[in-house]
A and B are shown apart, each in its own frame.
Chain A
């Protein structure tokens, strides 16, 4: 049963509730319940953070390498280049996100208008 499986107005909302709300707020409620029982440095939480980080990193790499819509027509090298330059600018500016975001967007837009 995918997001587009049923042609009913309520189906996407059920999908978002089950795959979105339940899958996130369960963790938050568990966090309240556990209170101070877990140490943030415990090894199981390191594993949990590693998996979560890798999963989100995989999503963003796929968005850059296989984008849809308006980005789909742009050259792959431009997208990877813009992301790499933005990330380098972020590090060079002492980890200021706003610098990384603005640099990456500037490179992307310059490339889109010039190419």
Chain B
């Protein structure tokens, strides 16, 4: 997925009527799609989770806009629930978000045109999270290169602002839900990640890491409360990486690489 940048078809000259605004609005429109809808359901779940954890509406909407990475937000709320200290919470959130760096690295060469200013890229990088990244990587080939920042600005800002509204709405409505529906709302977060983590794994080791992480989370929760997330991440992640190295050594030809395509 990262190596197709050079294989792009030659850009057609866009008609003069197609301004940055046109492409911004096309980016906005791209949000109204199945991945966009699934993301909304995930933020409905997040709002339910944050509400149960005792966060206020303002704090949850603020967190959604300023963090804008659902795994990081779920880890942060988990740390709040567990009463973790600020450094422990920050460390766990940072560990859960390292993946943002390679995602941005992969996206930048696709998005950058000759005259793009660096501050525009730094600003737009805040919108990078799984859904906007997948949508952008899919759509960029149909967008003229010098319009891609405008397109991504429309896509990213709409997803962020839209889901901030979704979180606020859920807070206003959730207190009126009957208990089983409130439970179903809370359940949205785990089931969303159960499916999206599996689908977004780039290699088999990602699936191993997911299964080991699922098993070790509750175990470490009982063994080392307060450090359960860090312990599970390092131990289960380390073991699955070790498995990856062993498999690579036995299969030096590299046929295992790209044994999975991203589910779309």
Contact = CB atoms under 8 A, between A and B. Distances in A.
A77 interface: no
Given A19-B90, A40-B1, A69-B52, A56 B74 contact: yes
B66 A67 contact: no
Contacts of A46: 202-203, 205, 241, 244
A60 B216 CA distance: 11
Nearest to B78: A59
Interface stretch (B7-15, B18-26, B120-128): B120-128
B166 interface: no
A97 B195 contact: yes
Contacts of B105: 31, 34-38, 40
B29 to A, nearest CB: 20
B170 interface: no
A112 B179 CA distance: 9
Given A18-B86, A20-B76, A66-B221, A50 B237 contact: yes
Contacts of B202: 40, 46, 49
B168 interface: no
Given A57-B236, A104-B191, A108-B183, A31 B100 contact: yes
Interface majority SS (helix, strand, loop, mixed), chain A: helix
A47 B209 CA distance: 10
A56 B190 CA distance: 10
A62 B18 CA distance: 49
A8 interface: no
B71 A56 contact: yes
Contacts of A15: 80, 86, 89
B26 to A, nearest CB: 24
Nearest to B111: A32
A59 B210 contact: no
Contacts of B101: 27-28, 30-31, 34, 38, 48
Interface of A: 1-4, 12-13, 15-32, 34-41, 43, 45-71, 73-74, 79, 82-83, 86-87, 90-91, 95, 97-98, 100-101, 104-105, 108-109, 112-113
Given A12-B55, A27-B101, A62-B217, 6 more contacts: A28-B101, A32-B104, A49-B99, A53-B206, A54-B210, A70-B185
